[in-house]
Structure 1
Amino acid sequence: MKLKRIHHIAVICSDYQKSKDFYVRILGLTPVQEVYRKERDSYKLDLAVDGLYQIELFSFPDPPARPSYPEAAGLRHIAFEVENIEEAVRDLAVHDVTVEDIRVDSLTGKKFTFFADPDGLPIELYER
């Protein structure tokens, strides 16, 4: 097997309209396709990240909560690369998104920080 790249990341949200607004309006991801699947009472929204990768945003009726802890086993977070982390943090502040203090990766010397989506999913910004 030879993996080529990440194809998509799937996110299940508890409030579809709120999460759609967050990922599209606040984070600026581009909607590619939105489908309502009546048999599952579920929306699926494909979002492009700078035209390269996709996030699949799903809604399901009453999804179970998934505890998220910084060092819990399993998928930890989604990370987005940005050119200027201070500018990105200011953009999020305009939308009242709480962002952790900017830190520096001791291995790479690059700046990074974390914030959360409407369901508490940890999202990292990592300066290029």
Structure 2
Amino acid sequence: MYKRIISLSVFILFFSITGCQDILECVINRKPILSDNTLSAAFVNQNYSELITAEIQNEPRDNAYYYDYFLTGDLPPGIDVFFDFRDVIIEGIPLERGRYRFTIHLSVEQIDNYCENDLNDCDGLCEERTARTYILTVN
């Protein structure tokens, strides 16, 4: 009996310190994700355009976040990347053949003033950052 009371006390103490909601967020698995689509092949001296999208998984209000991106790796000469809210746009006219590997890094943050309305659930995400590596082949 004594062991059961201690276990229950530790359990209650743990949730009161860490906050039950934080643990539930990880069970619900709310986190930013980038689309896992394979990029279509590009061709030298021909227009190329591809779209990668971002969202907050299991979050119906994913427009209520700031999306901040940066890119590491190589893009083909002639190809540019543009970040437009929840879209990553890759476009241009590639000038050289090859296989180009790059990673898009994404971090999100809830928009200020979003939590002022008591009707909104403003608990944090399980994760606030993600990254995905893509390969663009130019023929």
TM norm structure 2? 0.23
- Say which structure, 1 or 2, has more relative contact order (CA 8 Å, 6+ apart): 2
Q: Would you tell me which structure has more strand in proportion to its own residues?
A: 2
- Radius of gyration: which is bigger? 2
Q: Would you tell me which structure has more helix in proportion to its own residues?
A: 2
